[in-house]
Amino acid sequence: MNIALIAHDQKKDSMVNFVIAYENILKDHNLFATGTTGKKIMEATGLKVHRFQSGPYGGDQQIGAKIAENEMDMVIFLRDPMAAQPHEPDIQALIRLCDVYKVPVATNIATGEILIRALERGDLQWRKFIKESKHD
């Protein structure tokens, strides 16, 4: 599965810790991330991560394009709800695309853990049928 990992500045350490905690599950999947988040994950774990631009420089939109092409199966986006984000419209567009293309998205650690456990159990295999049908 293709998994996008995104974290706002105040959540990057939480994302790194999350990936370390679930490295045994994530190592079997294709990981994608925005710039700095991906770099921190790779440095901490040694996992291969395809890095896009930083979020404010278009990384969210690059991941959004993968979602629109049905090439992303899950998004874990640790958002900082306490800080205003100058690229908030891009963030909302990304979440909207997840809804349109039926891509599971977590915006906090609790939901992220639920998605990772579902991934581990094989509960997300339905994504391959969504990819084949494109739209419904």
- Tokens matching residue 5: 């990992």
Q: Give the C-alpha separation, 92 to 106, whole Å.
A: 13
Sign of CA dihedral 79, 23, 71, 56: positive
How far apart CA 20 and CA 76 sit, in angstroms, is 14
- Residue 61: enclosing H or E segment and its boundaries? helix 59-68
Find where tokens 């391959």 sit: 128
From CA 42, how far away is CA 31, in angstroms rounded? 10
Which of the 8 DSSP states describes residue 111?
H
Task: Identify whether 60 is a catalytic site residue.
Answer: yes
Catalytically annotated residue among 9, 28, 60, 90:
60
**What are the catalytic residues?**
60
